[in-house]
Amino acid sequence: RVIEERVVPTSRELGISQIVWSPVAQGILTGKYKPGAEAPEGSRARDEKGGADMIKRFLDDPVLKAVQGLEPIAAELDLTMAQLAVAWVLSNDNVAGAIIGASRPEQITENVKAAGVTLDADVTARIDEVLGDIPETDPAKTVSPAQRLS
């Protein structure tokens, strides 16, 4: 018997893709939150009206230490941490776009600059190495917020 070789199409080839919400992870990937330090005054992590609840799951030292490891990569590419995060999200073949939020107009201006950035395979591999298993990539675990909280 001959087993037919099949090529599995990518999500993009099938016309299926994702739009990512909060590619800077509620500000975590900007680098402003430091391991072992208090959240900056005026930051989302201090907003008791809802922002603090959204971000608290990321405010632990392993996550914040991994994020600090991205700073040299961003600096080498002459990008801000936010631009690196948005460029990394947009470099995923399964991502059609990203919804960038902002609390100030200059954040939008900064984040949009990432749209034209191309990260080569070497850079994305370095990012993946720095982050390790911090980003959740198991589709069974990336459920809706309502499902996470139940």
Banded pLDDT at 42 (limits 50, 70, 90): confident
What CATH number is associated with residue 35?
A: 3.20.20.100
For residue 99, the one-letter residue type is I
Domain count along the chain: 1
Establish if 3 belongs to a structural domain. Answer: no
**From 19-33, 101-115, 132-146, the region with the lowest mean pLDDT:** 132-146
Q: At residue 66, what are phi and psi to the nearest 5 degrees?
A: -65, -45
Specify the pLDDT at position 62: 92
Banded pLDDT at 44 (limits 50, 70, 90): confident
Percent of the chain with pLDDT over 70: 79
Establish if 150 belongs to a structural domain. Answer: no
pLDDT at 1 over 50: no
Neighbours of 15 (CB within 10 A): 8
Full domain range(s) for residue 129: 18-137
Specify the DSSP class assigned to residue 26: G
Establish if 2 belongs to a structural domain. Answer: no
Q: Is there a contact between 31 and 81 (Cβ–Cβ < 8 Å)?
A: yes
Establish if 11 belongs to a structural domain. Answer: no
Establish if 145 belongs to a structural domain. Answer: no
Establish if 94 belongs to a structural domain. Answer: yes
Q: At residue 29, what are phi and psi to the nearest 5 degrees?
A: -80, 5
